[in-house]
Structure formats: structure tokens, C-alpha cells
Amino acid sequence: MTHTEEERGELRLRKVVVLIFIISQLFLSGCWDQRLLKSSRLVYSTAFDLGGNDSKVEGTVIIRDFKGGVPTNLEVNAEGYSIRDLRINLENRISGNLEQSKNQVYLLGEDLAKEDIYDFMDIFFRDPKNSISSKVAVTKGTAGDYLRKLSMNNVLISEFIIESIASSESQSKVPKVNMQTICTVMFDEGKDFMLPLFKMKEQEIIQDGTALFSGRRMTGELTDEESTILLIMTKQEGKVARFVSKVNADKQPNIQNYISYNLMNTKVKMRILSNTPGNIRVGLHLKADIDVAEYPPNQLFTKKEIKRLNKEIEGDLTSRIEDSIKKIQEANSDLFGVGRELIAFHPKEWNRMNWREEYPTIHFETNVQAEITGNGIIN
């Protein structure tokens, strides 16, 4: 083959490649389900409440708007007989379509949370355009008031709530949950869940405790301290878990009666001791290291004092666990998933009982083993 024939061969190959490229474009028609952002209004926060006559749902959404290049909050609210009807009524009040894919948090008013919350979430699991990684929280009182309050202060609402929840998750005050994770538990008859709880105190919005759920309804609440110890016992703690225990009775000033510490390297074991209906017993064992953060008497250099403090802290933690368990049993909220253990390993006994009637009566036996292993840089 001559040099000229080689050039002709390359030219023919190039023509074939170009032809294939042109033909392929005929079959690439682009995305058939495109959504133009310029015609959408992005929703970043949503609040749901029961309407005034309880037959309607009231919704409040916060849309990110810009004035002079500065992000601001645009509040829109409406009512509807269903979430879809509510959304239609909200869209009638704005220009463009509501776009929920960027929604970061859903707030549920207390009254609504005491109903079956799945009824208000069903639409979000059916529509793939909705964000199910959004955080979910409960508010004392009307959820819409919380968005309106923050809107008045010109705070970027979604960021404020998300950062508050993230901080509480890190400090083991609330569990790391979102709409997707709670959906799984909502349909598990052997386990329940809790959500972050927001309250309004002296015109300030704060995260304060958790809302307990039995099945799909809110039935009680816990303080931050109670939530922390239960998050540890259910292996859901965050980066730190801080406690303050009273270990002395008569020292002056009063600050010397308390020790502040972090629980580290926690290990929890749960065991079904008795599976007999009417006499179910559950064993809980906690083993943890104690890192002392503050102890004004500064007597951590003697083995006798350390041993005494270990006992005092173990007693305090045991009382906290028992008191918290009493509250979740009163709320009929199976946070430990005892029912799930019975379903998996004792199905015959499970089928013989009504778990919602049985759970409040089961007996928990708690054992705590704690040891001071760190005391900061002071020896």
C-alpha cells in the first residue's frame, strides 16, 4: 500500500466516525422530565399543623428569595384537605411552582404529631422529586409560628434549624434521623423512635428534648438529659455525651458537690432474660470509661477517692436509666426494640401477646459499670 492509500484509508475512517456521531444524536433527545429552576420556587423549610377546624391541614413554607443579592425569607401559608390540596393552594399564592427537592427540614406541630404522622408524609414517599433525606422535628405548639418567628428576625431559617439539630446530634441530645429513616421504623411493630423537639422560651426558639412516638403517634417527651442516656443505651450517641453528677452532700461552696464528665468508649448489651408473656424481663448492661471534665475538690490522685467516685457515678447513671425507662414505658414507646428481639428470636411468644398492652409492664434490670480513666491535664 502506498502512502496515498494510507491517507485515503484514514479519511474514510474519519468519515465513518463522523457519520456514527451524527446518527447517534438523532436518538439522544435529552431529558424528557426536565424541570427548569427559573420557573420554580425553591422551598427550604416546611411546617404542618392541624387546621382551625381539625378537618384541614395548615401548611407554612419558607422560600428563599433575593433582594439586592442578599438572601431573604419569603413566608407563604395556606390550608388544604390533604397535603396535595395544600400544595395546590400554596402554589396559587406564588408565581411559579413549588420545588420541594431542596427542602431541608419538616416541622410538625404538637397537635398534628399526636395523630398518625404517616398520613401527612405519604405524598413525600410517593413522589421521587421530594427530598426524603430532610430532617423531621416536632414543635411545642404551632409549627408555623416557629417559621414566622424566625422569619421576623430575618434569620436564614433552614440553616438555623439544621445547625441546631446537627449540634444536638453531636452532643447526644437527639438521634440522627430523617424522613427516610423514620419511615422504616414507622412500619416496624417491634420498635419505636423519637424526634428532636423544639420549644419557644422567652421569645427564643431552642431545641429542648425529644418527642416520643408509639407507632406513628407522639405520646410523650423527654428532657435533653433523659434523651442522652437513652441514646447511649440504644447505641445512637453522638461525638460527646456529657453529664453532671452529685457525688458529695455537704461541701462548701456547693459547686464542690458535683463532678462533670464525658462518657467514653461505651458498650451496651441487651438480653431477654424471660420471654414469658406477662413476665418479660430484659437485662441492660452499660460499661463505660469516664473522662473527668471538672471536679473542684481535685482529689483524683487517690485510688480510694476514685473508687468512691466510680460508685457514686454508677449509682447516678443507674437512676437516670431507670427513670428514663419509666417515662418511655408510660409513653408506650419501645425505643430499645425489645419487640423486635422477640419477633426475631421468640416468635411463638410474640404471637401470643398484644405488644402495646405488654410493653408498659415488662421489667428492665439495669447494671452499670463505669471507671474514671481520664482527668484532663491535672494529676
Confidence bin at 109 (pLDDT 50/70/90): very high
The answer on pLDDT for 170 being more than 90 is yes
The pair phi, psi for residue 346, each rounded to 5°, is -135, 60
Q: Are residues 332 and 216 in the same domain?
A: no
Q: Domain ends where: 188, 222, 256?
A: 222
Looking at residue 4, its pLDDT comes to 64
User: Is residue 118 in a domain?
Assistant: yes
pLDDT digits (tens, 9 = 90+) for 257-282: 999 999 999 999 999 999 999 999 99
Q: Are residues 339 and 260 in the same domain?
A: yes
Mean pLDDT, the chain, whole residue set: 88
pLDDT digits (tens, 9 = 90+) for 37-68: 455 678 889 999 998 776 799 999 988 776 66
Q: Are residues 211 and 294 in the same domain?
A: no
State the Cα–Cα distance between residues 94 and 59, nearest whole angstrom.
Answer: 14
Looking at residue 25, its pLDDT comes to 65
Q: Are residues 179 and 244 in the same domain?
A: no
Q: Is 105 helix (H, G, I), strand (E, B) or coil?
A: strand
Report the domain count for the chain: 2
Q: Are residues 160 and 242 in the same domain?
A: no
Across the range 160-166, mean pLDDT stands at 93
Q: Are residues 105 and 184 in the same domain?
A: yes
Q: Are residues 202 and 243 in the same domain?
A: no
Among 39, 57, 40, residue whose Cα is nearest residue 48: 57
Looking at residue 233, its pLDDT comes to 97
Q: Are residues 370 and 271 in the same domain?
A: yes
User: Is residue 288 in a domain?
Assistant: yes
Confidence bin at 152 (pLDDT 50/70/90): low
pLDDT digits (tens, 9 = 90+) for 330-349: 999 999 999 999 999 999 99
Looking at residue 1, its pLDDT comes to 47
Q: Are residues 214 and 266 in the same domain?
A: no
Residues contacting 246, CB < 8 A, separation 6+: 257, 258, 312, 316
Handedness of CA 333, 193, 205, 115 (dihedral sign): negative
Share of the chain above pLDDT 70, in %: 89
Q: Are residues 66 and 154 in the same domain?
A: yes
Q: Are residues 336 and 253 in the same domain?
A: yes
What range defines the domain where residue 355 resides? 223-379
Residues contacting 372, CB < 8 A, separation 6+: 261, 289, 290, 292, 300, 306, 309, 310, 313
Q: Domain ends where: 159, 188, 222?
A: 222
Q: Domain ends where: 222, 242, 263?
A: 222
